Amino acid sequence: MSVYQVVVDSGVESVQLPCKGILHLPKDAKVEWMDNNDKIVHVYMNGSDEPEQQDEFYTDRTKMNEDLLKTGDFSLTLKYPTVTNSYTCTVYSREGKILLKKQVVLTVIVPQVVVDSGVESVLLDCTTTLKLREGATVEWRDAYRKVHVYQDGSSKPEKQDQVYRGRTEMNKDALRTGDLSLTLRYPTVTNSYTCTLYNRDGDILLKKLVVLNVRVPQVAVDSGVVSVQLPCETTLELPHDAKVEWRDIYKKAHVYEDGSDKPDKQDQDYRGRTEVNEDLLTTGDLSLTLHYPTERDTQVYTCTVYSKEGKILFKKAVNLKVNVCQVEVEEGEESVCLPFKTTQNLPEDVVVAWQSDEMMVHLYENGSDKLEEQDQVYRDRTKLNKDLLKTGDVSLILKHPTDDDNGEYSCEVSNRDDNRTNRIWRHKIVLLKVKGLCVCVCVCVCVCACGGGEGRLFSDLKYGFSVRVTIRL
């Protein structure tokens, strides 16, 4: 099957996907265009287009020649291309026999914008030479949400997603100048953005894709370190009543407001584990210290500074990766320690649960071990520190480790305090590898070969060699 290559820039009005072949096809022949995702792009059958059969993604965006069966030109015009894809044109007889099949690879060159997390703003470029009339609408979208809407001569913040509220701006005379570019403040996430221009009737006049690549600083540590710092500095002069908020993807990690930390506003996962500088607003050093990080803390963290009125003054993301703790031990050792240290002075109602493969390895509750709850495989083989509440050291001692103990162990530390401020939750995974014993056995073999004729010894040959055998117990 022949393959054509077509290259266009994102923002062009249309592109032609060429496909030419057999002349004077029968009137009942069928022409079908498909994309690489098995979506029907366009169907021509029984002498006319069949728009009801095409995927909605291509609705009102495709066109073919009227006399295609006569001329043998089955080329497809695709409006407003934004995505690189491969397309296949297939011509069938009435009986379903393939008469022609050709492939076209469409490459859409999408402009890339690269910035560092922490910049104040970035410009997503989109311009047109079309003469635009009043009543046109400009809509910017990311992969899932409305980013900005310009309609009836002004921006419509009530129509944009709240994630972008107060962070976007377009030129006031965008329709007159043809400059539909978008200014996005405080970018923190890599994403693709599409600018679509509609006329008064809702028909698409222009469509362009822009990819924004936000470079986020990476911090990597091993599970078990006492603490890790998420760097965040700004040269802005911050007001003394500003609010600083650190968040992971879903939860509040730390809140600094009215000149002090607000532990009652942070999620229980981070209770007692975070710290910022006392004079952060003066120095501009907004870095967050996270104590006792575990693999569960592998997240993208965002630091946002708000004015007293709630306006965003600064925003920066930091990517933290905490490597999973791995412990190796030789089989035959008396014991092995699965380490887990967290905040000191744990509440008396805390529950410590070590588990593996849905089996209870060790349970500590109401100030004592609950050995009756552990699986029989671990009976009389586990131990926790006596002063774990005071020290925060909830490490597990596993006695007489064997090859059967290989695997993943998880520890959950939690309580059920009705007071949200006193509630905590900690979690850690430890991978245990027990290496089997190796015994090396050397075997020496000596072979003698004797021979003779007429009752006499005529040769005496000796061969010696050794064999090294490794047996893993």
pLDDT at 444 over 60: no
Among residues 254, 287, 322, the one where a domain terminates is 322
Q: What is the pLDDT of residue 407?
A: 95
Shared-domain flag, residues 176 and 229: no
Give all strands (DSSP E) within 395-455, no chain letters.
396-399, 407-414, 425-435, 438-453
C-alpha 119/C-alpha 321 separation (Å) is 23
* CATH number for 11: 2.60.40.10
**Burial class of residue 388, CB neighbours in 10 A (0-12, 13-18, 19+):** buried
Q: What is the pLDDT of residue 438?
A: 52
pLDDT tens-digit series, residues 140-183? 999 899 999 999 889 999 999 999 999 999 998 999 999 999 99
Among residues 322, 344, 364, the one where a domain terminates is 322
Shared-domain flag, residues 167 and 146: yes
Shared-domain flag, residues 409 and 448: no
C-alpha 357/C-alpha 319 separation (Å) is 30
Residue-wise DSSP of 105-154? EEEEE--EEEEETT-SEEEE--B--S-PPTT-EEEEE-SSSEEEEEETTE
Shared-domain flag, residues 176 and 242: no
Shared-domain flag, residues 288 and 302: yes
Among residues 84, 109, 134, the one where a domain terminates is 109
Q: What percent of the chain has pLDDT over 90?
A: 75
Domains contained in the chain, number: 5
Task: For residue 469, name the pLDDT band (cuts at 50, 70, 90).
Answer: very low
Q: Name the residue range of residue 35's domain.
A: 3-109
Shared-domain flag, residues 199 and 240: no
Q: What is the pLDDT of residue 415?
A: 87
CA 399 to centroid of chain Cα atoms: 39
Shared-domain flag, residues 316 and 362: no
Shared-domain flag, residues 342 and 289: no
Q: What is the pLDDT of residue 21?
A: 84
